[in-house]
Amino acid sequence: MFADEIDTFVGALQFEFEMADNTCEAYARDLRSFTSVMAQKGKTSAAELVLEDIDAYLRSERENGMASSTRARRTAAIKVWLRYLKDRRIIRTDPAELLVAPKKAKLLPRILSEEETFALLDKIDGLEPRDLRDRAMLEVMYGCGLRVSEVCGLKQEDIVAEGELLRILGKGSKERLVPLGGAAGRALTSYFASARDAFTRGDISETHVFVTRFGKPFTRQGVFKIIKERAVAADISPDRISPHVLRHCFASHMLQHGADIRAIQELLGHADIGTTQIYTHVDTARFAEIHKLHPRH
């Protein structure tokens, strides 16, 4: 019964609510973990669950050292699942209705220093099509603060205002314009002039900006792979870098150079200024380290 109830719920997330695949997969894993423990206690379906069952499970997770962020996500998965089942009248009552989710710890985003970021980008200095493509991709990610999904989805018609702006379709189908200039603009121009046709092989129907050696749009995994490979070449641990780290670097380095926090919010496409303000903590941490160099510290 648990398996059927989870499958019904995850299917609804995918097809009714159009939730991201990664979120659906995470919720499914969390619910299977939870229901596996419940099955060991003799529970066979959501209709048999009570609030004490859920409290005991989450308390055990905390005592076993589970991170607060993971516990918060698992609590959210359980709450949304049971509410869905009640709304569909699969269960009569929602035992998680009064459940309070643990607060997620605010973790500072990982970033590279400016010197490390420049070393990563400047190391890609070849003139082969793959080098020109990878350099353009990473320069655009860092120079424009794009999410990996936005890089994968970027199309030629999204380069507007005579090449000076990118039109980005972000989360919630919210559109924003991001300036394209400097190193990112130059790298993209070189890629279009000397490399992209080598990947598309003249296929004018393919309009994505960045394409693989098979002439197809990149997946998130493909972009991750390129960044990891290029990090190793620049003597940077691949564990320290990801597409989102480059996005963090964009915001943090802009802030360090005096950019307004609300301008950074707009460029990143954050709906809430609170999401962007995490970078002020990064900047404060940097200045605290610098201050340790003071002779009277």
Q: Which of 22-26, 125-129, 212-216 has the lowest mean pLDDT?
A: 22-26
Which of 107-116, 180-189, 244-253 reaches the highest mean pLDDT? 180-189
pLDDT at 288 over 50: no
Q: What residue type is assigned to position 110 of the chain?
A: R
What's the mean pLDDT in 19-46? Answer: 90
In the chain, at which residue ranges do the beta strands (DSSP E only) sit?
159-160, 165-169, 175-179
- For 2-87, CATH gives 1.10.150
Question: Would you report the helix, strand and coil content of the chain in percent, each value rounded to 5?
Answer: 60, 5, 35
244 counts as catalytic: yes
Encoded tokens for 203: 């296929």
* CATH code of the region 114-291: 1.10.443.10
Q: Please give the structure tokens belonging to residue 60.
A: 């055990």
Residue with tokens 């493909």: 222
The pLDDT score that the predictor gives to residue 273 is 61
Where do the CATH 1.10.443.10 domains begin and end in the chain? 114-291
Lowest mean pLDDT among 28-37, 137-146, 165-174: 165-174
Q: Can you tell me the mean pLDDT for 99-126? A: 80
The active-site residue out of 196, 247, 248, 253 is: 247
Angle subtended at Cα 186 by Cα 193 and Cα 169, rounded to the nearest 5 degrees: 90
130 counts as catalytic: no
Q: What mean pLDDT value characterizes the chain?
A: 86
Instruction: Look at residue 281 and tell me whether its pLDDT is greater than 60.
Output: no
pLDDT at 137 over 60: yes
Contact 246, 227 (CB under 8 A): yes
Q: What is the average pLDDT across 207-227?
A: 95
pLDDT tens for 2-17 read 999 999 998 888 877 7
279 is catalytic: yes
Q: Rounded mean pLDDT of 138-143?
A: 95
Map tokens 């990801």 to a residue.
242
Active-site annotation holds for 147: yes
pLDDT for the residue 171: 77
pLDDT attached to residue 149? 92
Rounded Cα gap, residues 231 and 225, in angstroms = 10
What's the pLDDT score for residue 271?
66
Count of other CB atoms within 10 angstroms of residue 297 = 6
pTM of the model: 0.61
Number of neighbours of residue 5 by Cβ within 10 angstroms: 21
Q: Choosing from 74, 147, 196, 248, which is the catalytic residue?
A: 147
Residue 260 has pLDDT above 90, yes or no: no
Average pLDDT, integer, range 162-178: 86
pLDDT above 80 for 194: yes
Q: What is the per-residue burial (b if ≥16 Cβ within 10 Å, else e) of 169-202?
A: bbeeeeebebebeebbbebbebbbeebbebbeee
- Look at residue 202 and tell me whether its pLDDT is greater than 90: no
* Per-residue pLDDT at 291: 40
Active-site annotation holds for 247: yes
- Has residue 182 got a pLDDT over 60? yes
pLDDT beyond 90 at 120: yes
* CATH 1.10.150, the chain: domain bounds: 2-87
Q: Could you confirm whether 59 is annotated as catalytic?
A: no
Residue 121 is predicted with a pLDDT of 96
Res 146: pLDDT: 92
Does 296 score more than 70 pLDDT? no
Exactly one of 32, 62, 171, 201 is catalytic; which is it? 171
